[in-house]
Amino acid sequence: MFEPAQRMLHFHTSVFMDLRALKEQYEIAHNQNTIDFSLGSPNIAPDPKIMESLARAVEDPANYQYAIKPLPALIQAIQKWYHTRYDVELESGEIALLQGSQEALVNLPLLYCNPTDGILVPDPYYPVYVDAPKLAGAQVIFTPLTKENDYLVDFSRITAAQRKQAKMIIVCYPNNPTGATAPDSFYEELIRFAKENDILVVHDNAYSELVFDGKRGKSFLSFPGAKEVGVELNSFSKTYGMAGARLGVLVGNESVINQYKMLKSNMDYGIFLPIQYAGVVALEQGGTTIESTRQAYQNRRDALVRGFQSAGWKIPLSQATMFLWAPIPDTYKDSVAFTKALLKETGIIVTPGESFGPEGRRFVRIALVQDEQAIEEAVRRLKQTEFFVTKK
């Protein structure tokens, strides 16, 4: 048979596919639905104006041509949004459109890394942060995020050899999966670190609008010197509920953006025009739903933490994102064992923290993708099975 390339030896089936198989087994065996907190796929619909715009544009035959050049109206809307929201001025040459921010996370290592180069990656991490370096043949250099350091990158732990090897550092705040945010001092230190070591910063800012308790998310680019050393990814998926209508942006250092556009011109023919039109409406008119979306996730966070604690599972409140980073009881060997036991006995599905790196061994990630009624049912099952009473 056809033998895959050596690079494919690094890959295996997604954890979410594995969890789906376990989910199906449970539902057949117990004749009961699971309550799935695993995959972080938003279940809050976009503003109706966004969907109406997309529907109208889909019916226009002219919109089925190649979209080699982005819509000027969308570029202008992105510039206005970054100015209004983050006080960041962007030139058109500092903006590249993406079919979702994950596109750039995969491709940037191809642009800047040779096989002997390294990429500094947070641990725990979003899976593509390590998959992309493997595709590029680059080396992954983990920067542990610990509770003791508020889940921030500790630059003092990055050795001189690692600094010399690294071509890129990936940073994500608000952070998936921990839900942590970063103070201004962190971004200032990040920029100094990048300048001193000639390292490209890639800041994943997908969750800047999902910051709770009255606080506001920030842009890496709003800090002095940021454009000199890095780029930022932003997404329409979480902010505007457009996860399936893939649209994101890569903004910042003009040299990086130009190189990225050159690579992209050899890979695709642009983003489906109806999605671009919907993006314009999202930025210009869809902001009214941002607050209600944020509040919905905060309400779910509060209901889940309060309810699960009443059932014996104490979980810290996340500062941001649509996730909770929940510690597991000491009686379990690791998060995989805990996840399987939780599903088997309660029908509740979470994602084992080991799927996000070695630092996740004693945690699971809970995605706030179920409404409060489903959360109440999960609490009822935990109490009914006495899962945390009998398994401590």
- DSSP string for residues in 75-135: HHHHHHHHHHHH-----GGGEEEESSTHHHHHHHHHHH--TT-EEEEEES--THHHHHHHH
CB 360 within 8 A of CB 177: yes
Q: Kindly report the pTM of this predicted structure.
A: 0.94
The predicted structure's pLDDT at residue 390: 61
Tokens at residue 122, please?
């947070």
Q: Is the pLDDT assigned to residue 187 strictly greater than 60?
A: yes
193 pLDDT band, cuts 50/70/90, is very high
Tokens 């103070």 belong to 183
Query: 133 to each of 10, 138, 256, how far by Cα in Å?
Result: 11, 5, 17
| Mean pLDDT, the chain, integer | 94
Spell out a b/e string for 197-233, using b for 16 or more CB atoms within 10 Å of the CB, else e. bebbbbbbbbbbbbbbeeeebbbbbebeebbebbbbb
Nearest to 44 by CA among 348, 305, 289, 376: 289
Q: Which residue has the tokens 């890569």?
A: 250
pLDDT value at residue 329? 95
Q: Quick one: which of 344, 347, 338, 349 has its CA closest to 380?
A: 347
Q: Is the pLDDT of residue 380 over 60?
A: yes
End-to-end Cα separation, the chain, in angstroms = 49
Query: Which pLDDT band holds residue 382 (cuts at 50, 70, 90)?
Result: very high
Residue 139 pairs in a beta bridge with 118
Distance of CA 70 to the CA centre of its chain: 24
In this structure, are residues 172 and 148 in contact, taking their beta carbons and an 8 Å threshold?
A: no
Looking at residue 260, its pLDDT comes to 97
Whole-number pLDDT of residue 10: 78
What would the DSSP string read from start to end of 63-75? GGS---SPPHHHH
Q: What is the pLDDT of residues 364-373, one digit of tens each?
A: 999 999 999 9
Q: What are the residue boundaries of the structural domains of the chain, listed by start?
A: 6-45+290-385, 64-287
Paired strand residues for 235: 248
Mean pLDDT of the 141-158 span: 97
Please give the single-letter amino acid code of residue 105: L
**CATH number, domain 64-287:** 3.40.640.10
Look at residue 289 in the predicted model and tell me its pLDDT.
86
CA-to-CA distance for 170 and 126, rounded, in angstroms? Answer: 10
Confidence of residue 28 (pLDDT cuts 50, 70, 90): confident
- Tell which wins on pLDDT, 116 or 324: 324
Q: Is the pLDDT of residue 12 over 80?
A: no
Has residue 391 got a pLDDT over 60? no
What's the pLDDT at 220?
A: 97
Highest mean pLDDT among 234-238, 262-266, 286-290, 304-308: 304-308
- Distances in Å between the alpha carbon of 275 and those of 81, 144, 281? 17, 37, 10
Q: What is residue 262's predicted lDDT score, i.e. its pLDDT?
A: 95
Cβ atoms 140, 234 nearer than 8 A: no
Beta-bridged to residue 366, according to DSSP, are 324
Write down the pLDDT at residue 201. 98
Highest CATH level, class, for 6-45+290-385: alpha beta
Per-residue model confidence (pLDDT) at position 6: 83
Confidence of residue 80 (pLDDT cuts 50, 70, 90): very high
What residues contact residue 232 under an 8 Å CB cut-off, 6+ apart? 203, 204, 205, 219, 220, 221, 226, 250, 251, 252
State yes or no: cis peptide before 48, omega within 30 of 0: no
Degrees (nearest 5) of the Cα angle 236, 224, 101?
A: 20
What region does 139 belong to: left with phi over 0, alpha with psi -120 to 50, or beta? beta
CA–CA distance, 24 with 33 (Å, rounded to integer) = 9
What's the CA gap between 350 and 352, in Å, rounded? 7
How confident is the model over 39-74, as pLDDT tens digits? 888 888 899 999 999 999 999 999 999 999 999 999
> Would the pLDDT of 111 be above 80?
yes
- Mean local confidence (pLDDT), 246-253: 97
Average the pLDDT over 338-355 and give the result.
95
pLDDT-derived band at 300 (thresholds 50, 70, 90) equals very high
Give me the pLDDT at residue 374, please: 97
Of 347, 320, 350, which Cα lies nearest the Cα of 338? 350
